[in-house]
Structure 1
Amino acid sequence: MNGDLGTLARSLEGLIAWIRINARVLVQPAQTLQLGVIVLCIVLSWLFAAWARPRVDAWIRGLENRPKWQLRWLVVLRNRMGLAIFAILAWIAAGTFAQLYTFPSRRYLIVLAATIATAWFFIRIAAQVVRNRFLRQIVIWGLTAYATLYYLGLLDETAKALDGIAIEFGDFRLTLLAIIKAVIVTGLLFYGARLIAQTASQRISTNQDISPSMRVLTVKFLQVSLYSAAFFIGLKAVGFDLTGLAVLSGAIGVGLGFGLQKVVSNLVSGIIILMDKSVKPGDVISLGDTFGWIASLGARYVSVVTRDGKEYLIPNEDLITGQVVNWSHSNEFVRIDLHFGTSYHDDPHVVRKLAVEAAHSVDRVLKSRPAVCHITGFGDSSVDYILRFWIRDPVEGLTNVKGNVYLALWDTFKENGISIPFPQREVKILGGTMPSPAREQTGQPDPSSRGGDSSAGGA
């Protein structure tokens, strides 16, 4: 620890000495003139940017039928207009001083300011490739600090000062410089892993030779492998000893295994689902009261979207341990049963023929597979039938195709004089006096009336 404090003290002394030397240089007339020119460039760039921004905004709003990426880059350049103008003015001033003065020291500060401003501008432009706003700001400020220290010649002194700030536990020594390097290297590796994973995922997702379940499993495995490799390589690259980390992670894993049994069960169930291909994206399933199609397979849950737009996140464990109806597991053909009844006066042979014709008149009903109609019983007021037909697009819904077939049955039966009975109730009042109007209005029973008899009949 004493060595670290000594290194930190020496680094701070070097920084203070650098500030003192440059402070004495800046008070000289030549350097004072350059500082004045730099301040003038700052003022002029600010005034010009304030004047130009509203006009640039109006010009951007007037652009039509342009791609979004072009408009986005125009907005980025608009926001960096002041810095770009300052860099241009500083380089013009540096060129003018080069013509007026022979010695480079007479334009050194102006060239330094122009160089740093140019570096800042390109850093902010290049950082736009980072989509996340928070990470983009970290990248901008980190690279800005690095470029500024590099051009000022303070990079080595700053590195020594950061290396002097350390925490020690026995033989383990963790410095602030090592932490910064670890964050930078790991961040770059994670960014590279993300780009590779996205590119590979797009190609795998569009490969029709691979089943949907294997596509998801391959993408998940690739992502886990790349991110894990990026994390451990980043730590190893900056000198971290991974032996202690392996022991610590093992102990943490045992604790999490007891506390997160459900989570681990869902993760393992998700891998099993992907490997055995029991369900896959696009399948139509029924689980309890939930009926819909699988939108995506996650590491912990399966996303099922119903016809009414609701999205259910069903844990993977429920799909493994529960009874799931997969309407499109081995094929897309689904048989639908409809129950209806007709009057006893109608010929069952004609009814069966008309029902089959009505089913085949609906667009979504398959003509390649026969529809059949059978008598299931003789009811109290009707002859009961079951109509069976096939579809191959359950993802489009079942209720709507059932409704269309019912409408086709209604129209066909109406055209051919087939009646659909419904229960009717007839009330008879036997041997008593009619209820009085007063009691009828109050709703009280009439003592003189006797119980009624009811009977059911069919139309």
Structure 2
Amino acid sequence: MDPVQISDLVNDTGGDLASFMTGLLRRWNLYQIGIMVAALIGAIGLGKVFVFRMRGWMRNLSGRPKWQLRYLLAVQKRLVLIVWAVILWAVFLVMQELTWPSRSYLIEVLARVVTAWVLVEFAAQVVKNRLLRRMVRWGLWIYVTLYLIGGLGRTTDFLDGLAIEFGAFRLSSLAILKALIVTALLFTFARVVSAQTAVQVRKNEDISPSMRVLIVKVAQVSLYGAAFFIGLKAVGFDLTGLAVLSGAIGVGLGFGLQKVVSNLVSGIIILLDKSIKPGDVISLGETFGWINTLGARYASVVTRDGKEYLIPNEDLITNQVVNWSHTNDFVRLDIFFGTAYADDPHKVRAIAIEAANTVGRVLATRPAVCHIVGFGDSSVDYILRFWITDPTGGLTNVRGDVYLALWDAFKENGISIPFPQREVRVLDGDELPARILD
């Protein structure tokens, strides 16, 4: 639409608006406006009373689902609108019986608009995100208002006239608005479908944890990608040029985001080969903890002290990783101790094994063993080996429990734990060599 057509459209709209305002000055129309204002004042007064009583009633509610509470809160916030709509419809029905239908036309239009606003408020509660819900609410309010007062067609023509043209390419405000609406609806649909898919996949115990994560990620990327391109195609965008542009952008990003791409590919490899999965206990350098989540770029590792490390997927592929629960949950732990040479080593070994078996987390199905590993300067050195199946419960604490059990058992049986001793002699002056005194 060229500037002349836009000017004509604006002039026509201005003329229609002037005619509308002139019509409002008629006597019966002024009566209807007064009735609508009076109905609004009454709705505000009654609404405050109802809000106060409903608020007290809602305070006593407990154990209700969140969606019910959300809708009750929406009713409380829009009680004035609801009461106004009820009053307007009541006045309209009474006036239909007492006077000509044309003398209650404005009241009927406003009653329809206010009722539509109330219905839009309840429909918008389906959207959980607060910002998105507000955008949906205002968008639908504007749409239904224009539709009910008959201004939708002219508004559409006006938005279509605001366009940018480059040769055969034409981009209008109406096309952008349609693209945003269609894409938003498709994204909402993709989000709902992906969430339901994730729930069903996580419930399937026949699929390994890593494959569950992979299936959910692939479903999300596919659904959101399809929603984006279908939204563009639905409003008439030519995707051929977009494909060429995206290819050029992809080459640039490939050079500039090598690390990001490497982490993405590494994440896919990890999910496919099942070397690491959520719940595994791993050690990477000085970090020891269990896998909380596997993301597209990093893995979340939670340690015993509550810290959460975000380890890039590339590090899990290129570095040496100790997976304590890769094929099974059995973990063998070693502790070292020493006893005096005067103690019988056969008795020491038996007491150590018995002490280890008294600790709750030590497995009885895989017996503990104790061996002599050397003869030290002041002690006979031993190694005690035992098994656990819950590395997520910590390793230092179970070692400490075994050491404490050894201490109690050795004390009870008279086994001594030696420690290095040094004897310091102080010589008298006459005993010192002559060369030191010189």
How far apart are residue 243 of structure 1 and its match? 1.0
Structure 1 position 252 matched with structure 2 position 263: no
> Partner residue of 1:40?
38
Superposed, 1:151-170 pairs within 5 Å as 151-170=148-167
Question: Counterpart of 1:98 in structure 2: which amino acid?
Answer: Q
Looking at structure 1, the residues matched to 152 and 287 of structure 2 have their Cα atoms a distance apart, in angstroms, of 62
Aligned mate of 2:67, from 58, 66, 69: 69
Inter-partner Cα distance in structure 2 for 1:424 and 1:230: 77
SS in 2 for 1:129: coil
The reply to whether residue 224 of structure 1 matches residue 211 of structure 2 is: no
2:428 to 407, 428, 431: 431
Report if the CA contact (8 A) 1:266-1:299 is conserved: yes
8 Å CA contact retained: 1:87, 1:118? yes
Residues 197 and 219 of structure 1 are in contact (CA less than 8 Å); yes or no, is this contact kept in structure 2? yes
* TM-align CA RMSD: 1.6
Deviation (angstroms), 1:261:
0.6
The equivalences for 1:165-180 within 5 A come to 165-180=162-177
Range moving further from structure 2, 175-184 or 126-135: 126-135
Alpha-carbon distance in 2 for matches of 1:305, 1:228: 32
CA distance in 2, matches of 1:165, 1:68: 43
Distance in 2 (alpha carbons) for counterparts of 1:11 and 1:412: 98
Q: How far apart in 2 are the matches of 1:45 and 1:313?
A: 55
1:206 aligned partner: 203
SS at match of 1:335: strand
Kept in 2, the 8 Å contact 1:7–1:161? The answer is no
Match of 2:263 in 1: 266
Local SS of the residue matching 1:428 = coil
- Aligned partners of 1:300, 1:201: CA distance in 2, in Å? 19
In the alignment, residue 96 of structure 1 is paired with which amino acid? V
Which residues in structure 2 correspond to 1:278-317 (within 5 Å)?
278-317=275-314
Q: Tell me the equivalent position of 1:20.
A: 18
Between the aligned partners of 1:247 and 1:141, the Cα distance in structure 2 is 37
**1:80-104 per-position Cα deviation (integer Å, ceiling 9, x unaligned):** 1111111111111111111111x32
Q: List per-residue Cα deviations over 1:52-79 (Å, max 9, x = no partner).
A: 3333323322334444433332222111
Determine the C-alpha separation between the residues in 2 that align with 1:63 and 1:225: 42
Question: For residues 378-457 of structure 1, what are the structure 2 equivalents within 5 Å?
Answer: 378-432=375-429
The CA distance in 2 between the partners of 1:409 and 1:14, in whole Å, is: 97
Matched, 1:375 2:372: yes
Give the Cα–Cα distance (whole angstroms) in 2 for the partners of residues 432 and 316 of structure 1: 71
Q: Which residue pairs with 1:437 in the alignment?
A: none
Return the letter of the residue paired with 2:118.
F
Query: For each residue in 1:266-306, what CA deviation from the matched residue of structure 2 results, as whole angstroms up to 9, or x when unmatched?
Result: 11110111111110000000000000000000000000000
8 Å contact from structure 1 (residues 182, 234) kept in 2: yes
Give the whole-Å Cα distance in 1 for the aligned partners of 2:271 and 2:182: 33
- Aligned mates of 1:263, 1:400 — CA distance in 2: 38
Which range moves more in the overlay, 67-76 or 221-230? 67-76
- Contact in 2 for aligned 1:123/1:140 (Cα 8 Å): yes
Structure 2 partner of 1:9: 7
1:390 Cα deviation from its structure 2 partner: 0.7
> What is the identity, as a one-letter code, of the residue corresponding to 2:49?
W
Distance 1:17 1:193 in 2: 45
Larger mean Cα displacement after TM superposition, 171-180 or 26-35:
26-35
Q: Give the aligned partner of residue 322 of structure 2.
A: 325
> SS in structure 2 opposite 1:24?
helix
* Conserved? CA contact 1:94–1:111, under 8 Å: yes
Alpha-carbon distance in 2 for matches of 1:432, 1:260: 78
> Contact (CA 8 Å) 1:332, 1:392: kept in 2 or not?
yes
Structure 1 runs, 4 residues or longer, greater than 6 Å off: none
Partner of 1:446: none
1:425 alignment partner, SS class: coil
Q: Secondary structure at the match of 1:291?
A: strand
What is the deviation of 1:171? 1.5
- % identical aligned pairs: 61
Q: Does 1:139 align with 2:136?
A: yes
Offset, 1:229? 0.3
**In 2: Cα distance, 1:432 partner to 1:333 partner:** 65
| Distance in 1 of aligned mates of 2:62 and 2:184 | 38
Residues of 2 paired with 1:77 and 1:255: CA distance?
Answer: 52
Alignment partners' CA distance in 2, 1:136 and 1:65 = 25
Q: Does 2:105 correspond to 1:111?
A: no
Moved more, 358-367 or 185-194: 358-367
Q: From 58, 61, 76, give the equivalent of 1:60.
A: 58
Q: Determine if contact 1:302/1:313 at 8 Å carries over to the other structure.
A: yes
In structure 1, stretches of 5+ residues that fail to align are 434-449, 452-459
> In the alignment, which residue of structure 2 is the partner of 1:123?
120
In the other structure, the counterpart of 1:456 is none
Corresponding position of 2:188? 191
Contact 1:7 1:160 in 2 (8 A): no
Equivalent of 1:100, from 98, 101, 108? 98
- Is this contact kept in 1: 2:70–2:125, CA < 8 A? no
Deviations 1:319-340 (A, max 9, x none): 0111100001111111100101
Q: Describe the SS at the equivalent of 2:125.
A: helix
Match of 2:77? 79
CA distance in 1, matches of 2:350, 2:299: 43
Residue 8 of structure 1 contacts residue 160 of structure 1 at CA under 8 Å; is this kept in 2?
no
2: CA distance between counterparts of 1:314 and 1:352?
Answer: 42
* Structure 2 residue corresponding to 1:339, chosen from 318, 336, 341: 336
Q: Supply the distance in 2 between the matched residues of 1:4 and 1:162 (Cα, whole angstroms).
A: 13
Provide the C-alpha distance between the structure 2 equivalents of 1:168 and 1:392, rounded to a whole number of angstroms: 69
Question: C-alpha displacement at 1:44, in angstroms?
Answer: 1.0
> Could you tell me which amino acid in structure 2 is paired with residue 9 of structure 1?
S
Partner Cα separation in structure 2 for residue 355 and residue 371 of structure 1 = 9
The 8 Å contact of residues 183 and 228 in structure 2, kept in 1 or not, is answered as yes
Inter-partner Cα distance in structure 1 for 2:107 and 2:47: 20
How many residues in Structure 1 have an aligned counterpart in Structure 2?
Answer: 433
